[in-house]
Structure 1
């Protein structure tokens, strides 16, 4: 897991890795299947093994994946994803190159999240199905919102499992959370916003 106290240069390198579409696909594959080598990834992702090998090494440099020593031998190296958690700092504190790299990751994630949103609506089969869609709007103070986010993270920790610890019947589930206050302006003649 990357150090939470990364420097701006280290975060820039991390964001560039996460913003690379092929590296993102490699991480997604490892997340779903647990492990792979460059040959397997080349076949599954439609790339050359030299290309996937290069990107695997770059992901390892970022501590996003690790080699499975007991399966690797000679030129054949097997890899698995590492647990990863990172909170992007306030964009106002970022150097220009770091901000540009973070925005590249955001664009890639928005594309992925839009696809998930559309799938969730398409696959929704009622309140007891695998695909769930929840939308809500409430009034909150900033402190209440931050408390809500902390409790949301605690719920993820409580109900989520690492791949190797998941109980029978568990499937990978993509969850997204957004909280956005209304824009500053007026509502019924009263000022709104911070």
Structure 2
């Protein structure tokens, strides 16, 4: 499971891509558990979504836009900063007024079999939340499809791959996205935030229509 939600609108799926400092490559189980709980918190997701769309905000702006108290948004901003999902903007902050922006973010979850019970439950809760969000995006993609040159695209494919080939494909998929994609700050005129999702899953072990399904 890779999550880049914060960087893009609606995602941190942080985006985030959003390339500057990212979350630590190696996290402990406790750190991953805290991360999943943060990304699974509805208000923190809304804060990350707002920063992804608008670039920056302070607790007062977020309180007004999200219908919360500034004390509540200030608390959650500090927690997101502790996990390197956002950072303070020094040149705009002064006194009690602190401005924040999202940070690039990418994280690949470990094998669930290696997780502690608490970590697994936090990851499971986050996964269910993301499935709900992704289902809404899937429906929108179908409803807003206007042909192969439009803004909405849906494709389905099936093929045979070895595990090494699938892993290589995933690396190249990510490299292709990095090649064509832009951060909010460097996006050219006419660019819009685009939510992209990709999943791949092998058929179950055993026979299917008389043929082996492979590893």
- Same fold, TM-score > 0.5, yes or no: yes
Cα displacement (A) at 1:193: 4.0
**Matched residue, 1:24:** 45
User: What is the total number of aligned residue pairs between the two structures?
Assistant: 194
Bigger mean CA offset, 10-19 vs 181-190: 181-190
Bigger fraction of residues in helix: 1
Q: CA deviation at 1:138?
A: 1.2
Gap regions ≥5 residues in structure 1: none
Correspondence for 1:99 among 120, 127, 134: 120
Q: Residue in 2 aligned with 1:114? A: 135
Question: Partner residue of 1:184?
Answer: 205
TM-score normalised to structure 2 length: 0.87
Distance 1:68 1:94 in 2: 35
> Which residue among 2, 14, 17 is the counterpart of 2:35?
14
Q: TM-score, normalised by structure 1?
A: 0.96
The 1-side partners of 2:115 and 2:32 are apart by 10
Residue in structure 2 matching 1:59, options 73, 77, 80: 80
* Offset from partner CA, 1:100-127 (integer Å, 9 cap, x none): 1111111111111111111111111110
Q: 1:148-173 CA deviation, whole Å, 9 max, x = no partner?
A: 11110110110111111111111111
Q: 1:138 to 1:191 in 2, by over 3 A?
A: closer
RCO higher in structure (CA 8 A, sep ≥6): 2
SS across alignment from 1:164: coil
SS of corresponding position for 1:74 = coil
Q: Deviations over 1:40-83 (max 9, x none)?
A: 11111111111111110100010100011111112111100000
Contact 1:41 1:52 in 2 (8 A): yes
Task: Look up the match of 1:146.
Answer: 167
Q: What is the Cα-based RMSD across aligned positions, in Å?
A: 1.1
Q: How does 1:29-178 map to 2 (within 5 A)?
A: 29-178=50-199
Segments ≥4 residues shifted beyond 4 Å: none
Measure, in 1, the Cα distance between the counterparts of 2:186 and 2:174.
19
